């Protein structure tokens, strides 16, 4: 029976992010998410509408 283990010796502070970087990522993710929700919610493409139909109704999101 063999046991394989590996450890990383990288310092804990090797990857730091600033508050500005984190806020930028959060804002970009929010904009992308809102675009996807509104695209699926108000799309006139039948395949997109049907793919998300039940989820929208269960979340009380208007689609008609």
Residue-range domain boundaries for the chain: 19-58
Asked if residue 41 lies in contact with residue 61, where contact means CB atoms within 8 angstroms, the answer is: yes
Stated pTM of the model: 0.51
DSSP at 56: H
- Residues in the chain with pLDDT < 50? none
DSSP 63: -
Q: Provide the pLDDT for residue 18.
A: 94
Of residues 43, 28, 26, the one with CA closest to residue 56: 43
What's the burial of 4, exposed, middle or buried (CB within 10 Å: 0-12/13-18/19+)? exposed
């Amino acid at each position: 029976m063999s046991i394989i283990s590996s450890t990383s010796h990288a310092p804990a502070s090797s990857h730091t992010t600033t508050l500005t970087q984190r806020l930028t990522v959060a804002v970009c993710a929010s904009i992308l998410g809102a675009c996807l929700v509104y695209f699926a919610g108000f799309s006139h493409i039948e395949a997109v509408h049907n793919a998300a139909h039940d989820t929208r109704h269960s979340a009380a999101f208007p689609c008609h």
